[in-house]
Amino acid sequence: MDISVVIPLLNEEESLPELVAWIKKVMDANGYSYEVLMIDDGSTDKSWEILEQLISKNPNIKAIKFRRNYGKSAALNVGFEAAKGDVVITMDADLQDSPDEIPALYGMIKNDGFDLVSGWKQKRHDPLNKTIPSKFFNKVTRMMSGIQLNDFNCGLKAYQHEVVKNIEVYGEMHRYIPVIAKWAGFTKIGEKVVQHQARKYGVTKFGLERYIKGFLDLLSITFVGKFGKKPMHLFGALGTLCFVLGTMILLYLSIAKLVYNEYYIATRPMFFLGILSVIIGSQLFLTGFLAELISRNSPNRNHYLIEKEIGTDNS
């Protein structure tokens, strides 16, 4: 199968018939073999009934329905598990992502050798309260991840089949799939300017809280990617630094007490800073030690992606 299109949706009853017809038109025009995986993330409108009608007319459409709303990341993860196509393309169900972009995205994966191609909505039909924070978070993500993309959160993306089968999307991590893919070893990440449609039906499903969650998720994915298998390298280094600093401060005060007869060192702010540094350093070191024990006992502690083998039983 050439393409799997994974589409998470929540209360999109108006847009589904038009979206499915649009995708079919593009696929038939290019002669692709394909499947469309619709992941209903606990819709409360008639989305599921409409999907049942669409599936009865088009065998290429498949659907999965959650019992409740779990979030976009969960929907994408389930879609990735079910996808069978050589290239997996994700898009939103609100018609703001254009299926006409599919052939170009498919070509960049199959012909240009990219592991992942992310869409860039260079011209957006969104209000300023969405575009300005989005630019800020994209800039911060570029700085922290080293991935030079202009729009990490664009729902329109294309992946090699191997990528979606070796990454896990959870929480609110759908915003940072390129970062997850990079830490998994898929470094050929490209970008394509895509058309952004104005919203035709319904309203956005994301509020202001997504910016706080997005920043916390960025910190989480950065930490897990760099130190997930070696937490002592972070906590141990910080703990040692704080402990040594506190010890030096207390040693200096002890010398001042014994040699220069300073009688009031216990009232000096530096005394409390030294004690606090020693305590924090010890706690950080202990945290790293416990995290290391947990990491060592994780079932995925030795899970590595192998690209090629020569001269082995598996090659």
Specify the 3-state DSSP secondary structure of 193: strand
The answer to whether residue 67 scores a pLDDT higher than 80 is yes
15-24, 48-57, 173-182: lowest mean pLDDT where?
173-182
List phi, psi (to 5°) of 274.
Answer: -65, -45
**Burial zone of 313 (CB within 10 Å; 0-12 exposed, 13-18 middle, 19+ buried):** exposed
Right CATH number for 3-227 from 3.90.550.10, 3.10.450.50, 3.20.20.70, 3.30.365.10? 3.90.550.10
Q: Residue 303: its pLDDT value, please? A: 52
Query: 120-160: per-residue pLDDT in tens?
Result: 988 776 666 666 777 877 888 888 788 899 988 889 999 99
Confidence at 302, pLDDT banded by 50, 70, 90 = very low
Confidence at 293, pLDDT banded by 50, 70, 90 = confident
Q: Residue 196: its pLDDT value, please? A: 79
**Burial zone of 261 (CB within 10 Å; 0-12 exposed, 13-18 middle, 19+ buried):** exposed
